[in-house]
Amino acid sequence: SGMRCGMRAARGAIEKVKIDPKSYESSCSVLGNVLPLGICGSGYIDAIAELLKAKVLDRNGKIRDIPTPRIRQGPEGREFVLVTQEKSSSSNDIVISEADIENLKRAKGAIYSALSILSKHVGVSFERVDKFFIAGGLKHLYPRRRTVLGSGLTTYRHKIASGLSRFVFKILFVGKCGI
């Protein structure tokens, strides 16, 4: 998945996260109401929104140097410990790393670019499109968290970041739509 603790939205996946902005303690909702095993895509987006809200992340997606045992140096840069190994069904702590955040930033830029190219290809200006339907496993993405895709984290190009702010409200996640 390219995400250190990533997994599909299945039993054991963290889908929703709350982070206390004073203590930085986290609480997680887990699919199947079992001990967490990893984080699904919706869980990553929810966790990043909470990390931004708690001011753990700066706008570039870097983890701030805050004195808390939840933040540590890992093999891929700083990381935030969502769930310790003792409170999970994983053999390791469940973390969000700076590399995970970079991967999400690249993915959101790729989605925006693809939809922008598609709209140009069919001869419709991006602004005239009311909704883009996105199929996949993000059915657990809470609407209040969609803004993290658009404006929460800046991307490498300002044009993509500003375009995503307009773009994010045109997205309708429809879940898995296989034939």
Rounded (10°) angle between helices 98-121 and 41-53: 110
Burial 108-133 (b: 16+ CB within 10 A, else e): bbebbeebbeebeeeeeebeeeeebe
Residue 160 makes CB contacts below 8 A (sequence gap 6+) with 109, 112, 113
Per-residue pLDDT, 150: 52
Residues of the chain where predicted confidence (pLDDT) is lower than 70: 1, 134-179
Per-residue pLDDT, 108: 77
What is the pTM assigned to this prediction?
A: 0.78
Residue 108 phi/psi, 5-degree rounding, is -65, -35
